[in-house]
């Protein structure tokens, strides 16, 4: 996902360019908005974390771009491309170093495993929206 603040700031084109320029193939892509309930479901794994309420409110605060991306070693390589959760810790040349505002408003979401990537992809896209 390209998160609400990055989408609102008009960074989606540059972020997508970094993604495709680093060898990821776009399988599916859409501009959409999560309700608070949907954001809560999407981030249910973080339910017990102190920032969960803030995270859900933020992710439902405006439209986002959702994508399914394909590449060998995609999860690990995408996390390398986006950089650390906290942009202050993110390496030079990463998406979060360039576009994140803060640890909470950190521009992009990346799946943390192949299993979760499949669940998260199916959350946003039907089979006929994936190519």
Task: Supply the residues annotated as catalytic.
Answer: 109
Task: For residue 80, give both structure tokens.
Answer: 């390398």
**In the range 44-103, which residues lie near Mg ion by CB under 5 A?**
none
Reported in sequence order, the residue ranges of 58-120 that DSSP labels E, i.e. its strands, are 64-70
Nearer to ligand ADP, 76 or 129 (CB): 76
Nearer to ligand ADP, 104 or 129 (CB): 104
Q: Is 25 helix (H, G, I), strand (E, B) or coil?
A: strand
Nearer to ligand ADP, 11 or 109 (CB): 109
Residues in contact with Mg ion, total (CB under 5 A)? 1
Binding-site partner at residue 85 among ligand ADP, Mg ion, none, CB < 5 to 8 Å by type: ligand ADP
Q: How far is the CB of 112 from Mg ion (least distance, A)?
A: 5
Binding-site partner at residue 31 among Mg ion, ligand ADP, none, CB < 5 to 8 Å by type: none
Measured in degrees and rounded to the nearest 5, phi and psi for residue 67 equal: -145, 150
Binding site for ligand ADP (CB under 6 A): 46, 51, 54-55, 85, 103-104, 106, 109, 112
Task: For residue 53, give both structure tokens.
Answer: 């309420």
Contact 75, 111 (CB under 8 A): yes
Q: How far is the CB of 123 from ligand ADP (least distance, A)?
A: 15
Question: DSSP letter string over 53-64?
Answer: HHHHHHHTSS-E
- Of the candidates 46, 35, 22, the residue with the CA atom closest to the CA atom of residue 95: 22
Q: Which chain residues interact with Mg ion by CB under 5 A?
A: 112
């Amino acid at each position: 996902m390209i998160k609400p603040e990055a989408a609102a700031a008009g960074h989606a084109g540059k972020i997508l360019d970094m993604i495709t320029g680093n060898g990821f193939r776009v399988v599916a892509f859409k501009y959409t908005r999560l309700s608070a309930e949907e954001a809560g479901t999407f981030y249910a794994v973080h339910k017990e974390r102190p920032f969960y309420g803030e995270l859900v409110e933020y992710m439902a605060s405006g439209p986002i771009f959702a994508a399914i991306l394909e590449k060998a070693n995609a999860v690990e390589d995408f996390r390398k491309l986006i950089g650390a959760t906290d942009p202050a810790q993110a390496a030079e040349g990463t998406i979060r170093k360039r576009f994140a505002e803060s640890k909470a408003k950190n521009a992009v979401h990346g799946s943390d495993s192949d299993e979760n990537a499949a669940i998260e992809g199916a959350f946003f896209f039907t089979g006929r929206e994936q190519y």
